[in-house]
Chains A and B, each alone.
Chain A
Amino acid sequence: MKKTILSFLFVALAATGAEAQKYMTRTAKVHFDATTSHSPEKIEGVNNEVGNILDAKTGDLVFQVLIKSFKFEKQLMEEHFHENYMESDKYPKADFKGVISNLSEVNFSKDGTYNVTVTGMLTIHGVANKVSVPGTITVKGNTLVAKAKFNVVLKEYKIDVPSLVADKLAKTAIVTLESNLVQK
């Protein structure tokens, strides 16, 4: 019994401790490029309204992306992106929840750039896949800059590409991410 109480206390303490260790932003940037050599134009979109929280104590890392916030240069491309590929009305959000696997290598109280590997579940178009992504975290005072670049294989997320445009649209989108987090 005593032990349980103790552990409860620990959890409570840990929770309050974690509160101070949280970094957050709502304006992280996600960019994707799905251009191929046969594409008639650059196929890219950018979203500057991505939500991101990093818990420095536990290494937990989450991202949340409103698909409708992706911006395109061409209105028609934007419409096709939502209507034909992402089905944004049906699947309005994409998210990632995971952990920094090598948390011990990051010193959040010392300025510098650290290489990290993040592992977790990436959900796009209603399909969740386990991913492991390398990235960097740059600590500067009480702010962090998290950067990553990774590939998203459209098929793995059940994003259909009709044969008609198969060679004009990359099967793998290159996703770049930049997040400027501020300690809460």
Chain B
Amino acid sequence: MRNALIVLLFLLPASLISYAQADKLLDELSADMPKAGGAVSATFKATRIIDGCSVENLGEGVLDFRISHRFGQVNQGYQNFYGLDNATTRIGLDYGIKPWLMVGIGHSAYNKDVDGSLKIKLLRQKLNGMPITLSYATSMNIETQQAPTLPAGDTWVFPNRLSYTHQLLIGRKFNESLSLQLTPTIVHYNIVDSSKFNNNTLALGIGGRIKLTKRMAITGEYYYRLTNTDLLFQGNPTFNSFSLGIDIETGGHVFQLMVTNSQGLTDRTFIGQTTDSWSKGALHIGFNVSRVFTVVKPKGFREGAASW
């Protein structure tokens, strides 16, 4: 008994001492360990907040297949089953060439738009340091629907079909749940409804998300037009785009459900050519589904894992 006690007495401080020493060794390791002040990730769940670009890029070698769907106006009544009968769709493919560079193409049923886009990450928010992520996004739209009937002698030239969007994306993840983004935007339309309108629309977008759970977030997005607010689009008055949504994440998919007054799915249509308004209840229910595929496997992963 006494022996056991003595052994215990010896063991007790021995174990304490050894752990204290282990602590010292750990400090030694920490001392010149790379600082845990790395880049902030997952500011937003997807490459678009709702309709507009987010500061998120696809990883290198990652292909994103996106299907976006906007139903008709909910105030159309039973005749059009509250808008669900009239849907417009955009099918898009985005690809990450480099972690900071992604390109995309897409086709929308709305105005038969074909779009090509580019997004470049310029600055990345860091845990200790850079407070924001800054990206530049640009897209070009080619409207491909049939040319309007023109008076004899007039021709509908190809450049009439083009429009361009340039955006600066200034995003910040404030904490685990809150991310905000400011998006100064300029959209250039090669042709507008009347010569009294400017071909450029300046807008300031503000978007954000609040994470409710690890896999669900509510999102919001508003594009406030600074110029060209009286722009007519195909004879109809236009409104600022405002959307509210929910992001739901399951395994390899991100679902985005939303209510918005914009039915168009390309930058030029929703930012400057939204013809429905919240005040009239002319809203569209919609969803985006994103599915990512790793096309090119990251280098270094296999080599690292090879020895197992």
Output the residue of B19, B58, B292, B302 with the most chain A CB within 10 A: B19
Q: Which B170-191 residues have a C-beta within 8 angstroms of A? A: 176
Given A53-B25, A92-B36, A176-B308, does the pair A72, B214 have CB atoms closer than 8 Å?
Answer: no
Contact A165 B307 (CB under 8 A): no
Segment touching A, from B83-91, B234-242, B293-301: B293-301
A97 to B29, CA, bound (A): 12
Q: Is A124 an interface residue (CB 8 A)?
A: no
Q: Which residues of A have CB within 8 Å of B127? A: 89
Q: Which A66-99 residues have a C-beta within 8 angstroms of B? A: 66, 68-69, 71-76, 78-80, 82-84, 87, 89-90, 92-93, 95, 97-99
| Shortest Cβ distance from A47 into B: residue | B304
Q: Is A171 an interface residue (CB 8 A)?
A: no
Q: What string of 1s and 0s marks CB contacts (under 8 Å) between A15-35 and chain B?
A: 000000000001001010000
Q: Is B30 an interface residue (CB 8 A)?
A: yes
Q: Which B27-44 residues have a C-beta within 8 angstroms of A? A: 28-30, 33-34, 36, 38, 40-42
Q: Which residues of B have CB within 8 Å of A49? A: 34
A52 to B22, CA, bound (A): 11
Given A62-B26, A168-B251, does the pair A31, B305 have CB atoms closer than 8 Å?
Answer: yes
A80 to B23, CA, bound (A): 31
Question: How many positions in chain A have a CB within 8 Å of any CB in the partner chain?
Answer: 50
Q: Which residues of A have CB within 8 Å of B41? A: 79, 82-83
Contact B18 A95 (CB under 8 A): no
| Shortest Cβ distance from B36 into A: residue | A92
Contact B301 A68 (CB under 8 A): no
Q: Which residues of B have CB within 8 Å of A40? A: 251-252
A121 to B16, CA, bound (A): 12
Residue in B21, B251, B252 whose beta carbon sits within 8 Å of that of A60 in the complex: B21
Contact A46 B301 (CB under 8 A): yes
Q: For residue A60, give the distance in angstroms from its CB to the closest CB of chain B.
A: 5
Contact B298 A73 (CB under 8 A): yes
A106 to B231, CA, bound (A): 82
A61 to B58, CA, bound (A): 39
Residue in A44, A48, A75 whose beta carbon sits within 8 Å of that of B58 in the complex: A75
Q: For residue A131, give the distance in angstroms from its CB to the closest CB of chain B.
A: 14
A82 to B176, CA, bound (A): 12
Q: For residue A2, give the distance in angstroms from its CB to the closest CB of chain B.
A: 21
Contact A55 B301 (CB under 8 A): no
Q: Which residues of A have CB within 8 Å of B48? A: none
Contact A97 B62 (CB under 8 A): no
Contact A31 B29 (CB under 8 A): no
Residue in B22, B30, B42 whose beta carbon sits within 8 Å of that of A61 in the complex: B22
Q: Can you give 21 A-B contacts (C-beta < 8 A)? A: A29-B307, A46-B304, A48-B304, A49-B34, A51-B33, A53-B28, A55-B25, A61-B22, A64-B26, A71-B298, A71-B300, A72-B301, A83-B41, A83-B42, A89-B176, A93-B36, A97-B25, A99-B18, A120-B22, A162-B215, A176-B308
Inter-chain pairs besides A75-B62, A121-B19, 4 sampled, C-beta below 8 Å:
A46-B301, A92-B36, A168-B251, A176-B308
